[in-house]
Amino acid sequence: MKIHEYQAKQILGRYGVAVPRGEVISRVEEARVAAERLGGGTVVVKAQIHAGGRGKGGGVKLARNSAEAEKVAGDILGMTLVTHQTGPEGRVVRKVLIEEGLDVARELYLGLVIDRAIGRPVFMASTEGGVEIEVVAAQHPEKILKESIDPGVGFQAFQARKLAFGLGLEGVQVTEAVKFFAALYRAFEGTDASLTEINPFVVTRDGRLLALDAKMNFDDNALFRHREIRELRDLDEEDPLEVKASNSGLNYIRLDGNVGCMVNGAGLAMATMDIIQYAGGRPANFLDVGGGASEEQVRKGFEIILGDPNVRAVLINIFGGIMRCDIVANGVVGAAKSLGIKVPVVVRLEGTNVELGQKILRESELNFTVANGMKDAAEKVVSLARH
Amino acid sequence: MVFRQFFRRNDAVLMSVLVDENTRLLVQGLTGREGGFHTGQAIEYGTKVVAGVTPGKGGTVWKGATGSRNVPVFNTVAEAVETTGANVSVIFVPPAFAADAIMEAADAGLPLVVCITEGIPTFDMIRVKQFLAGSNTRLIGPNCPGIISPGKCKVGIMPGSIHKPGNVGVNDDPETHAMVLIGEIGGSAEEDAAQFIKERVRKPVTGFICGRTAPPGRRMGHAGAIISGGKGTAADKIAALQAAGITVAGSPALIGETMAQLLSHQHEQ
């Protein structure tokens, strides 16, 4: 799960990570008061959307006084911000963060991720802050310092010192950095984050260390034990069909093709997308309806797939292992009848009672094409999607 | 994927068959809905299920949906192992408690633990991995279908009817003539496996990598199935497999054909 910058900064602040003073607003009228509360001097107005590259897209602007802050906030609030991460359709800005302006001397980078290869969290730091870390990793991998963390004892002070000295910090800044890094790790572990990124991590001219930007992503599987984080979910930032699917307990990801897919099991769902492409078509989605594939789940799946206007044909690929194919077929027929489906539907069933399942589909008097095997199913659905 | 674990251990040796007619199975979470259902299926398949563990239900006997089963239930894994001589555990407990269940099984000295549970928090598994390091317990899973030795023993949630005894496996054994390696986007286990196969395996291997069409940055159902920072793409993994001499099938429908061709070539030589 993703959250906004201002939410990440609130969480980090609670763990003792130094962040700039700021206020989040959603109405232009609130901008002037917020800027005045920050001292009435220079402020930064930052669009709050779940995507990077906001600065380049015109979503982060400086204002020298509170009157200017109001004007800038007016420009940004409501704009459709397009960045390299939003796609061409962009995102509507509904909130802006107004923050104290800082006199920045150095821009550094800090990141915490899970390194799957070693099965441990890794703390990364780099002198190359303010730019995309992927670019640094590709061009100057030696400029990324890494400390892997023993999960039994957690992040140690000596590791924090290695990173601090490696970043060229000196004197009292090293002590401050050690505290900052330790707090950042506590926030990462304490919230079951999957990613925490401070880019840039800044040193001000008066020697302070602060998280100028902050990004946190969380492990969805651990949200059950973090109610306060679950409440930060912003549905405006998600695809409406994906939101609807997740509310129905379905795992759906929208893609840009025209062949809708309904499959039981994530691996088979991905393989189904691949075989559609192999047959010359393009999948419209990833959809895992789960192991049971009951009539209710199939109905919800249909509703979501057909909510995408690009879909020209649907492939249902169900492996009835322990779930019997005749039960699955009855579910598909029931759902298709009650929804009055217009697009062609190709069904591939395999497993227990497959003959009976296919018979139910054929005798349903609905527009089903029964396929034999995945290859046949993919070729048939791709052909139907073309017409 | 089930077989990822096979290549993860530092002391990686080609494995022989993990479960067979000597398996004495313990089910953690036996009295739950999933645990009960799949245990019934396993018993019908011929698996020797000797014990169940559900804290608080120790001393009872699990009868199953038909009322015809007789599996003793214990409060702790240690007690179950001591009393019944169980040598493999399968775990069906919910995600919030699964990490604890794995560690309990390892603590009781079980050499093989199969965890079916999906959706365990990453940090929990990091701690489990640390806990297992240095122990003699091999963990299969979590989030896996389990293991089956066709005709002998079924430890997991796969339907028994779709498996037949044969000589194409995911592991090495004198009865295994060839291997199939199925992987998916994300992580680097397939690359590790390719390296291992290049160095150690002399039998024909057919590969398939799932997720050529998966968009970057999106998690495709499985926990690790995500292309992040340009890493873990299907193209990279296919290239790694091919570089190791593995024949990669372009579509899942071609895995069988590809393997048949490899075996017939071998036969001709």
What is the b/e burial string over B3-20, where b = at least 16 CB atoms within 10 angstroms of the residue's CB? Answer: bbbbbeeeeeeebebbbe
Alpha-carbon dihedral angle through residues A70, A71, A75, A76, given to the nearest 10 degrees: -30
Strands A368-371 and A345-351: parallel
Is B174 within 8 Å of chain A by CB? no
The tens digit of pLDDT for each residue in A55-77 reads: 988 999 999 999 999 999 999 99
| Domain annotation for chain A: domains and CATH numbers | 1-19+104-238 (3.30.470.20), 21-101 (3.30.1490.20), 239-386 (3.40.50.261)
A197 annotated active-site: yes
Q: Residue B234: which of A367, A271, A120 has the closest Cα?
A: A271
Segment A216-226 mean pLDDT:
95
Instruction: Please report where in the chains the tokens 């014990």 appear, as a residue.
Output: B51
The pLDDT score that the predictor gives to residue B16 is: 53
* Residues of chain B predicted below pLDDT 50: 1-15
The tens digit of pLDDT for each residue in A85-132 reads: 888 889 999 999 999 999 999 999 999 999 888 889 999 999 999 888
Contact across the interface for B251 and A120, Cβ inside 8 Å: no
Average pLDDT over chain A reads 93
Residues of A in contact with B218 (CB under 8 A): 253, 286
What backbone phi and psi angles, to 5 degrees, belong to A253?
A: -130, 125
The tens digit of pLDDT for each residue in A297-312 reads: 888 898 999 999 999 9
Contact across the interface for B184 and A267, Cβ inside 8 Å: yes
Segment A171-190 mean pLDDT:
97
Fold agreement (B2-162, B168-268):
yes
Instruction: Please report where in the chains the tokens 């645990």 appear, as a residue.
Output: B35
Is A270 within 8 Å of chain B by CB? yes
The pLDDT score that the predictor gives to residue A178 is: 97
The answer to whether A20 and A10 have CB atoms below 8 angstroms apart is no
What residue of B is the nearest CA neighbor of A257? B213
Q: Calculate the alpha carbon distances from A173 to A162, A202, A205, A208, A266 in Å.
A: 13, 11, 12, 8, 48
CATH of domain B2-162: 3.40.50.720
The tens digit of pLDDT for each residue in B38-79 reads: 999 999 999 999 999 999 999 999 999 889 999 999 999 999
CA distance B83 to chain A (A): 32
Q: Inform me whether the pLDDT recorded for A289 exceeds 60.
A: yes
Distance, in Å, from the CA atom of A113 to the CA atom of A376, rounded to the nearest integer, reads 42
Rounded to the nearest angstrom, the gap between the alpha carbon of residue A149 and the centroid of all alpha carbons in its chain is 25
Listed by start position, the domains of chain B span 2-162, 168-268
Contact across the interface for B213 and A374, Cβ inside 8 Å: no
Q: Residue B148: which of B207, B95, B88, B102 has the closest Cα?
A: B88
The pLDDT score that the predictor gives to residue B168 is: 78
Distance, in Å, from the CA atom of A70 to the CA atom of A47, rounded to the nearest integer, reads 13
Tell me which residue in B37, B158, B251 faces A321 most closely, judged by beta carbons: B158
Q: What's the order of all strands across the beta sheet hosting A259-263?
A: A251-254, A285-288, A259-263, A313-320, A345-351, A368-371
Give the CATH H-level superfamily of domain B168-268: Succinyl-CoA synthetase domains (3.40.50.261)
The tens digit of pLDDT for each residue in B166-183 reads: 887 766 677 788 999 999
Q: Inform me whether the pLDDT recorded for A33 exceeds 50.
A: yes
Distance, in Å, from the CA atom of A73 to the CA atom of A85, rounded to the nearest integer, reads 22
Token readout for B83 is 């009393």
Contacts of A261 by beta carbon, 8 Å cutoff, 6+ apart: A269, A272, A273, A276, A283, A284, A285, A286, A287, A305, A314, A315, A316, A317
Q: Inform me whether the pLDDT recorded for A165 exceeds 50.
A: yes
Is A195 within 8 Å of chain B by CB? no
The pLDDT score that the predictor gives to residue B174 is: 75
The pLDDT score that the predictor gives to residue B170 is: 64
Q: CB neighbours (10 Å) of residue B21? A: 11
Contact across the interface for B123 and A275, Cβ inside 8 Å: no
Instruction: Please state the ipTM of this predicted complex.
Output: 0.85
SS3 call for B32: coil
The answer to whether A217 and A195 have CB atoms below 8 angstroms apart is yes
Is A306 within 8 Å of chain B by CB? no
What is the b/e burial string over A345-365, where b = at least 16 CB atoms within 10 angstroms of the residue's CB? Answer: bbbbbbbbbbeebbebbeebe
The pLDDT score that the predictor gives to residue A259 is: 97
The answer to whether B155 and B90 have CB atoms below 8 angstroms apart is yes
Q: What is the sign of the dihedral through the CA atoms of A43, A48, A54 and A59?
A: negative
The tens digit of pLDDT for each residue in A198-218 reads: 999 999 999 999 999 999 999
> Three-state SS across A31-65?
HHHHHHHCCCCCEEEEECCCCCCCCCCCCEEEECC
Q: Calculate the alpha carbon distances from A141 to A134, B231, B237 in Å.
A: 9, 15, 22
Distance, in Å, from the CA atom of A263 to the CA atom of A48, rounded to the nearest integer, reads 35
